[in-house]
Amino acid sequence: MEFLSTIGGGLMIIMVILFVILAFFGLVKSGGHMATKNFGFHSIVPDFNLHYWSTVGMLIYAMNGCELVAPYVTKMKKPKTDFPKAMIALAVMTAFLTILGSFALGIYFDANHIPNDLKMNGAYYLFDMLGEQFGMGHFLLYFWAWTSLFFNCALVAVLLDAMTRMLISDTGDKYMPKFLRKKDKNGLPVNGYILTVALSSFIMILGIFLPDMNDIFNWLLNLNSIISPGVTCWIFYSFMRVRKNSKKYPSKYVYIKNDKVAWLVGIALLIVTAVATILGFAPQDIKQGTGLWWYELIINIITVIVLIGLGAILLDDVKLNTALLLIKHNGFGWAF
């Protein structure tokens, strides 16, 4: 997993930065020709309608994921100083690539006539055009395809491992069912992995009635703009609770020193993230009010209800097991 993460992540960063650089060189080479006509400030400013606000969660999703490194922080050489630096670097890089990357996309794609499958195949179209422009044929296209393969394999491995470890290992025993805490001889939470795969399969099944693969891809991507910010809401809420009782929960990794300021930052981010999560339920890339729009809205709601419901069921299972243990401990074990 570490090998895949290093290769996949490294290649992805190189290719994205290369894209931005080549796009601007290509703009100069073509004499300033852009696919988006009359590109100006009005092209950057969006229409602040329901569709726009429903995509804010996607921006949060793009920035999210840094909390996934939590199980590996202790493996850093100097976690106390290196972890905050890594988070700042991540924020700067995301902002850099979002702003310049969006401008670079406008060079090769007409913002007024965006391909329907841009989210799924846009990167392949782009690197193919760059390769043709710079006389490299399809080399960049193939190189991107291999980069995407390594990156996505690493992403699946990290998500499966990190999310499961965060759920199982970092949760108190009184909140986690015993069967999920079970580990194999290598210390891996095998039942947690099975649960994660089962949930992923359930989500995939919900999308099988969508018209084609492009719609499924777009829906899954947009679903992340609900799930990812929604999970982050709990992270901000937990952060507020911890900073309100910082003496009870001391930490070596503190970025904002003042507890009151940290709490205010936490609640501000919680409100923004919660609003983005709610707005994210509105389906994107589909005409509002159509049958397909309503179907996606329904499966978005079902997905969230099932995930929250599962959490409640698991917690109730822990409470039931605790009650049974208390009954046995108090001399009523014969009943079982």
Query: Tens digit of pLDDT for each residue in 266-303?
Result: 999 999 999 999 998 988 878 888 889 999 999 999 99
Question: Is 52 part of a structural domain of the chain?
Answer: yes
Whether 333 shows a pLDDT value over 80: the answer reads no
First to last CA, the chain: 44
Whether 62 shows a pLDDT value over 80: the answer reads no
pLDDT category, 326, cuts 50, 70, 90?
Answer: very low
Question: Is 58 part of a structural domain of the chain?
Answer: yes
Q: What pLDDT is recorded for position 325?
A: 44
Whether 168 shows a pLDDT value over 70: the answer reads no
Whether 73 shows a pLDDT value over 70: the answer reads no
Whether 165 shows a pLDDT value over 50: the answer reads yes
**Which of the two residues, 91 and 126, has the higher pLDDT score?**
126
Biggest CA–CA distance in the chain, Å, is 87
Question: Is 178 part of a structural domain of the chain?
Answer: no
Helices 259-279 and 56-63, interaxial angle, to 10°? 130
- Structural domain total, the chain: 1
User: How much helix, strand and coil, in percent to the nearest 5, is found in the chain?
Assistant: 75, 0, 25
Question: Is 177 part of a structural domain of the chain?
Answer: no
Question: Is 180 part of a structural domain of the chain?
Answer: no
Domain containing 206 equals 2-172+186-328
Whether 81 shows a pLDDT value over 90: the answer reads no
Mean pLDDT of 15-21: 87
Whether 65 shows a pLDDT value over 50: the answer reads yes
Residues 179-228: pLDDT tens digits? Answer: 777 777 777 777 777 887 888 888 889 988 898 888 898 898 889 889 88
As a dihedral over the C-alpha atoms of residue 208, residue 210, residue 215, residue 218, rounded to 10 degrees, the angle is: -60
pTM exceeds cut of 0.95: no
Tell me, what DSSP letter sits at residue 180? H
Question: Is 119 part of a structural domain of the chain?
Answer: yes
Question: Is 129 part of a structural domain of the chain?
Answer: yes
**Which of the two residues, 76 and 55, has the higher pLDDT score?**
55
Q: Quote the CA–CA distance of 65 and 60 in Å, as a whole number.
A: 10
Q: What pLDDT is recorded for position 125?
A: 92
Question: Is 179 part of a structural domain of the chain?
Answer: no
Determine the length of the chain.
336
